[in-house]
Amino acid sequence: MPDEIDLARRGLFRGRLRTAEPPVQLPWSVNWSAFVADCTRCGECLAACPEQILVIGEGGFPVVDFQRGECTFCTECVTVCKAPLFRPTTESPWHYKAHIEANCLANGQVFCQRCQDSCEPNAIRFIPVLGRVPTPTVEPDRCNGCGACVQDCPVGSIKVDGRAAPSGGASQPTLKQES
């Protein structure tokens, strides 16, 4: 019995004929359908990533895992790849933005500002509110989607991906995605 499972074949048996798009692709990568069509799954990008945030995702394709750390936009994954999988690095690496979900400690009146401390572009700020602990807000124009805040959140309430930020009242901190 082989040590590796062909995830693409398993998907076929489950009725999925194509690999699902991950929440976060590699920086500067082309659209997902073009990426999976040309990616050889050689693993060179995984080995080249100095932050070690690239992992093998569904179907054996490389994806970003912010639980392992942040993207420094070093371009190593782009440089090492021999396939036409990336846009020019002079363009924006991606349009992902962070958003904070309802289980943020500030919503439970617990003081925590770790995400602000880890946010180098200062996109996450805490706004004082009379009678409550400060709640986080994100300036989408400053957020580069690096993911530094994701690993630092003790309750996992920060996500970086391409989906729209949840809408909510003043008690629920949110980060809006750039259009």
Residues annotated in a binding site for [4Fe-4S] cluster: 39, 42, 45, 49, 71, 74, 77, 81, 143, 146, 149, 153
Helices (H) and strands (E) in the chain, counts: 6, 6
Per-residue pLDDT band at 176 (split at 50, 70, 90): very low
| pTM of the predicted model as reported, rounded to 2 decimal places | 0.78
pLDDT in tens, 41-52: 999 999 999 999
Tell me the CA distances in angstroms from 18 to 15, 37, 40, 41, 129, one per residue in order: 9, 10, 15, 15, 47
CATH 3.30.70.20 occupies which residues in the chain? 97-161
The listed CATH number (3.30.70.20, 1.20.120.1200, 1.10.1370.30, 3.30.300.30) that belongs to domain 97-161: 3.30.70.20
- Cβ-proximal residues to 130 (8 Å cutoff; 6+ apart), any chain: none
pLDDT category at 144 given cuts 50, 70, 90 is: very high
pLDDT single digits (tens) 6-25: 455 554 555 545 678 999 99
**Mean of pLDDT values over 68-83:** 97
Structural contact between residues 78 and 44, judged by C-beta atoms closer than 8 angstroms:
no
Convert the pLDDT of each residue in 152-165 to its tens digit: 999 999 999 886 44
Binding residue numbers? 39, 42, 45, 49, 71, 74, 77, 81, 143, 146, 149, 153
Instruction: Return the pLDDT at 60.
Output: 95
Considering the four listed CATH numbers 3.30.70, 2.30.30, 2.40.50, 3.40.50, the one that applies to the domain covering 20-92 is 3.30.70
Confidence of residue 32 (pLDDT cuts 50, 70, 90): very high
